[in-house]
Structure 1
């Protein structure tokens, strides 16, 4: 099941994409796609609906972030062996954790704003994991049972802010619009193996990133086990699980994003994002 939120920012409605690719309105069934509606019982009820019985959405509405009212936005750094190699980083012994501010979250096709003073804004296609059931001290074996579904995330990053402004990575990860999320939340029953998904990112039509989640250092299940041993994960929390090689930071002669650039971002079975970079207001 592909769940989606559509409409203007702050006024999104819940929907689903049917087998023919038609957007259907779910607002008669649930108020929104948020933590409170991501439990297994609610998802099972929605899965049992006949999509043809739901109103088709006309026109071409904006697609919002696929999860509303995100609780925690947790991110894992240096989690692909081939990405660590391109940046010359040591393989970590445990998942590297940082947070992205929720105010960075935007829809998958919304404009990405270049922060004032930015010279090193970079791209990162990442697999997003959305928690659907409270997780505390869960085992690796049981971890995926706590997942509602998966989505595409572009972990946009300002590298100078990240590494040169003192403090933690969060400074370079949390600028407004630096968290495009969606287009769909694909429920876990449609993603039998999150450790074998192809992923790509293009800049201005040129392929920059090509990867597969099989090169993750820490799997989705291992990440959930680790994080749930540190803090309780709640429904609606989002985990961004790291990026494969091909970021600007890893280039011999880095070429970072500039105003007017276009990013196209895909993960197998999870949909596509497209963002244009604009100057921040």
Structure 2
């Protein structure tokens, strides 16, 4: 299985591949996972975020599933890597995790048909797209303050090649908070599939390499607080871990 990532070590940024007990640099040096600073495995270009793309998640928020993809954009300031810290605003009372399958685009394309959609995918990674719903205007017009806050989108640890994932539309998702499972779901319950989303997005704009599609989260939200350790898991992709800290004044 091919997995690649990005780390910072010794004052430089390095691309790495997964080893049994850590990471390997291009020059052959190896390090344990805890010895490096993890970066997002991709430097996202345009990031598309799906809202209410799981029917059970829509129902827990008392909304009907959308008839057309509900998509908004995310800025690069939000992304952090594996084992990093997410800042929680002290005034927030409704900060939720969102475990998501992230699709990384591998080549330029427009007017892509569903039957050819996976030809444009490089691979997959995990995102935990925290939402601070105190600032929500309504679910069909997501406020920038909800989804574009610094450090609120851990992503990684790896990009797993598409060849290693037999069926991305049948993967289990799971979130643990302080070691306790609080969310479980499966990508087969998406309202709009990955091929549909690629066809839809490319029908009106050109997709570029390193664009990322965050495909939504299933039912099972819970509040998180400073000190919580959150682990987002997607079958076949590994585990993305990060810690919630209080945002300093």
| 1:215 partnered with 2:189 | yes
Aligned position for 1:270: 237
Query: More displaced, 143-152 or 108-117?
Result: 108-117
Could you tell me how far apart the structure 2 residues matched to 1:75 and 1:163 are? 17
Match of 1:77 among 27, 51, 72: 51
Cα drift, residue 116 of structure 1: 4.6
Cα drift, residue 9 of structure 1: 11
Q: 1:211 to 1:114 in 2, by over 3 A?
A: same
Aligned position for 1:66: 41
Aligned position for 2:228: 261
Could you tell me how far apart the structure 1 residues matched to 2:97 and 2:63 are? 18
Cα drift, residue 120 of structure 1: 1.4
Q: Pairwise mapping of residues 185-196 of structure 1 onto structure 2 (< 5 A)?
A: 185-196=159-170
Match of 1:89 among 43, 46, 63: 63
| 1:142 partnered with 2:143 | no
Q: Secondary structure at the match of 1:4?
A: strand
Match of 1:172 among 128, 146, 152: 146
Query: More displaced, 143-152 or 5-14?
Result: 5-14
Count of residues in correspondence between the two structures: 246
Cα drift, residue 22 of structure 1: 4.2
Cα drift, residue 24 of structure 1: 1.3
Aligned position for 2:82: 108
Alignment RMSD: 2.1
Could you tell me how far apart the structure 2 residues matched to 1:192 and 1:230 are? 29
Task: Give the TM-score normalised by structure 1.
Answer: 0.82
Question: Which runs of 5 or more residues in structure 1 are unaligned?
Answer: 29-53, 249-255
Aligned position for 1:14: 15
Cα displacement string for residues 20-75 of structure 1 (whole angstroms, at most 9, x for unaligned residues): 3441113x6xxxxxxxxxxxxxxxxxxxxxxxxx333367212211112x211110
Task: Give the TM-score normalised by structure 2.
Answer: 0.92
Could you tell me how far apart the structure 2 residues matched to 1:9 and 1:196 are? 39
Question: Which runs of 5 or more residues in structure 2 are unaligned?
Answer: none
Cα displacement string for residues 91-119 of structure 1 (whole angstroms, at most 9, x for unaligned residues): 11111101122100000210010125322
Q: 1:233 to 1:65 in 2, by over 3 A?
A: same
Cα displacement string for residues 217-240 of structure 1 (whole angstroms, at most 9, x for unaligned residues): 111111111111121111011110
Could you tell me how far apart the structure 2 residues matched to 1:116 and 1:228 are? 39
Could you tell me how far apart the structure 1 residues matched to 2:62 and 2:195 are? 26
Q: Secondary structure at the match of 1:109?
A: coil
Could you tell me how far apart the structure 2 residues matched to 1:3 and 1:84 are? 33
